[in-house]
Structure 1
Amino acid sequence: MSEKLPRPSQVTLAGWLIVGGSLGVLATVYSQLSRLRSLDTRESIEKTLAEPPFDHLGVDVGTVLDTMHVLALVTGAFAAAAVVLGWHVLRRHQASRIVLTVLAVPLLLSGMASGGFFSTLVAVAVVLLWVPQSRDWFRGIPAREAPPAGPSQAPGEPRSSQQLGPNPRQRPYAQQAPEQGTPQGAPQGAPTPPPYPSWLAGTPHPAAPVRTGQPVQPPQSRPATVTWAAVLTWILCALGALGLLAVGVICTADPGPFYDEMMRQNPELRGQGLTEDLVVASMWIGVVMGLAAIAFTAVMAYLTTRGVAWARVTLVVLVAIAIALLLIASLMAPVMVAGLSLAAVTLALLLRPETRAWFHRFDR
């Protein structure tokens, strides 16, 4: 690991997301442990255990609290380890990347008990550690350049007959080239005519220098699947942003229904001094966080259209998470089925063979 290689941007992004997300999981676990044994938590658990299907399990409140305590400690241990491993990943430690990949699965599952946002962020960041650019960097392989279009040739070296092309007339004309720079009878200082007729003017001169290191590749346009995937993503982002802003405006204008619903779902909040102003403030915090996630998704869609491979991988993960959330939301609001369909089509377009083949052109 002593070789100094420039760190790819996707590794830098993934490493800091892992460190930041793991610290967020630790803060959430600490908050959960601090109120785990409170009276409100006990009453909430008792109410849950008294309703079906938990009323037939025969589990008491103490057992549930002990289980939640152990689960929170395990999640905190996973998060603390992820912070250290994320820091070592930024220093190109191969073993840390492997251990972190294995650790991401239990961290994601155990983190669901504390909200799941930060643990999901860590899982998405771990995916970025396995894109082609990241794999090469961890193996100590520098950025690979595309191979030249033809065989290498020193400047000024004459091309062979095979390099001139399949035209059989090229070699005889090349052999008829005069040894002297000026043909007999030509005035002094006149330019030397080419040793081949004018209809071969498009063929490179045998003695012309050949440029190396500049591969000529046939242009490949962006597939329509990539373009439509980005367009559908931006449509979903616009609809999501409008929905969040509408909820925030409605809550600000009339917070009463939101306050009543929160009191109905969590009666213990009534004795904690929760007011309608706090409900509005909490709602706008959620709106801002949602808009930040939507903006991040839109940026990933733009980078995907520019051929950035790790952005496509990130977008696939984000769209998959959106499908899971929309599937849950569609059970409560059937209108969400439209958004679910758009997200499913977007994911299918991102996984199409022509989409993957186009992004392989940008692998280094």
Structure 2
Amino acid sequence: MRGFLIWVAAVLAMTAPAKAFDTTASAAWVYDVQTGTVLMEKNAETPLPPASMSKLMTLTMLFEALRDGRVSMDTTFPVSEKAWRMGGSKMFVEPADRPSVEDLIHGIIINSGNDACVVVAEGLAGTEEAFARQMNERAAQLGLTHTTLTNASGWPDPGHRMSMEDLGLLATYIITEFPDLYPNFAMTSFNYKGRVPSNAGNRNPLLSIGTGEWTADGLKTGHTQEAGYGLVGSAIQDGRRIIFVITGLTSDRARAEESERLVNWAFREFSMRTLVPAGEDVAQAPVWLGTVSRVGLTTQNGVNVLVPAGVQDQVKVEVVYDSPVPAPIARGDRLGQLVVTIPGTRDTVTPLIATQDVPEAGLVGRMKGAVMQLGQRAITAVTG
């Protein structure tokens, strides 16, 4: 027998329906970190040229090397002729230099240095080709299923591809796993040995926008002729963080305008709702052959969801479990799931766990339970 409970969330006031975001980007992905909700996606799983946005994978490899103790911020790397001769955006390292890991982090994030990326690749893996193989292996481990990388910088190559969803997931990983390093993404200027032109600072257009409502703090721009203008961005409002990825814009101005418009939409058109407070029982499930007849079902951390404006009275919550639940049961055992359905968004599924231990009943208890079950079946047969 399948046990379930359905109810509809009520609201006191109605607002205008949330407007779908019709982006001019060729591909996009928008994500709310706190609730794990994908707010919008457009061609999000399509592998596309990521340009310099793929530098996030190079930084991830460097951040993990720092975390694992393989390098420190003071570790220095040599500069090869290949790195020195890299074109495009540069940190302006020279063969005689020995930039530190800290310098290179700044050079990649702020100056978008293609030369700095090659220095890191060769410093960590010996060659850029070996580093690309390591990045692909790590990307697969991180669940980036639409990523294939051939170089460390995002230099145009037919085989160098990432989806917007993969870039967003990678940004989420960086933010959550490296909180001590993430503030580097909000830095706007870095001038290695006085060689960097004044116009080679951080190109993230949102870092200089102060709306008074939200604050942007990362992550990485990208631009090539093939890819167009793109941005992996993140912003916070009242403790709520969104991450977004866009690509295929026609100019840096279009990228700036679309990014700001998208962030405003993500914060204004969705409101946070607590459907299940942390620690609150969601249901009482019947127990089969246990020392008690019912066991509480709860969530690990409660359930918070984002609800688009205008559909608050259409939220459906379903508690699903196999009933009765056979004993023995250990506190924390996963016994079912809570499914939240909101129009216009993906369903949110949260595991339901037991609130207590329920030992198996003794012989007498099992006999009573068997008799009651047989009696219930008989009643069902007669009345059915």
Query: What range describes the TM-score normalised by the shorter chain of this pair?
Result: under 0.3
- Judging by fraction of residues, say which structure has more helix: 1
Structure (1 or 2) with the larger CA radius of gyration? 1
TM-score, with structure 2 as normaliser? 0.19
